[in-house]
A and B are shown apart, each in its own frame.
Chain A
Amino acid sequence: AQSVSQHNHHVILSEAASLELGCNYSYGGTVNLFWYVQYPGQHLQLLLKYFSGDPLVKGIKGFEAEFIKSKFSFNLRKPSVQWSDTAEYFCAVRGGADGLTFGKGTHLIIQP
């Protein structure tokens, strides 16, 4: 069975700081990888996805993620965070079956 591990459950940063959220997955086959975001009071939204090709993928709102196959990782990055980035971030993997396996999430708080 596949699993997803998000290393940081709570992260607090100041505006303009750089962000990196860790995500590791366990699945030996071909995977599709996703980062979803849940802003306060809103539903889950897709930030970015990886299917194949360039391992560095860019998403909405200045976010990017790098797929490192040898490390089974898909870390999320943003060079300079804003107060509006305060949200819950979920890493997810699709491997084989059609359902997504999510990590437990990282609660990100940006202080103005």
Chain B
Amino acid sequence: DAGVTQSPTHLIKTRGQHVTLRCSPISGHKSVSWYQQVLGQGPQFIFQYYEKEERGRGNFPDRFSARQFPNYSSELNVNALLLGDSALYLCASSTRGAPYEQYFGPGTRLTVT
């Protein structure tokens, strides 16, 4: 079975630009979460979506937004990019409810110059 897939793998953007990252969950998983992992740190929770609705939000500015589609895939959008947004963006999928195991994708490496 295919795991969580993310695209693109790598991305280079300029400050002030906008970026869209995409994620496809494991078949049968209806929940998608997004995390930001800065070099040398653990992943930080950005959003969780379930059944196309936002169910949780971390401590990130409004420049970050996301949505989930009817097929449960998801997009993460970041506006007005800053140098500090350079990171590995991880998508995780899970079933709703216990056991709350999250399965992570390979991530999208975003570099802002």
Q: Do A and B bind each other?
A: yes
Please list the residues of chain A having a beta carbon within 8 angstroms of any beta carbon in chain B: 4, 32, 34, 36, 43-46, 49, 51, 90, 92, 94, 97-105
Given contacts A43-B90, A44-B90, A99-B45, 6 further A-B pairs with CB under 8 A are A43-B104, A51-B98, A90-B43, A98-B55, A102-B35, A105-B42
Interface size class on chain B is 20 to 34
> Would you give the shortest CB distance from B89 to chain A, in whole angstroms?
12
- A-B pair count, CB < 8 Å, reads 60
Q: Is the CB of A49 within 8 A of B42?
A: no
**Given contacts A94-B100, A98-B31, A102-B42, are A43 and B106 in contact (CB under 8 A)?**
yes
Q: Is the CB of B102 within 8 A of A100?
A: yes
A74 CA to B31 CA in the complex, in Å?
26
A-B CB contact pairs (8 Å), 28 listed: A4-B42, A32-B99, A34-B101, A36-B104, A43-B104, A44-B43, A44-B104, A46-B102, A46-B103, A49-B101, A51-B99, A92-B42, A94-B100, A97-B48, A97-B56, A98-B31, A98-B33, A98-B48, A98-B50, A99-B33, A99-B35, A99-B56, A101-B45, A102-B44, A104-B41, A104-B42, A105-B41, A105-B42
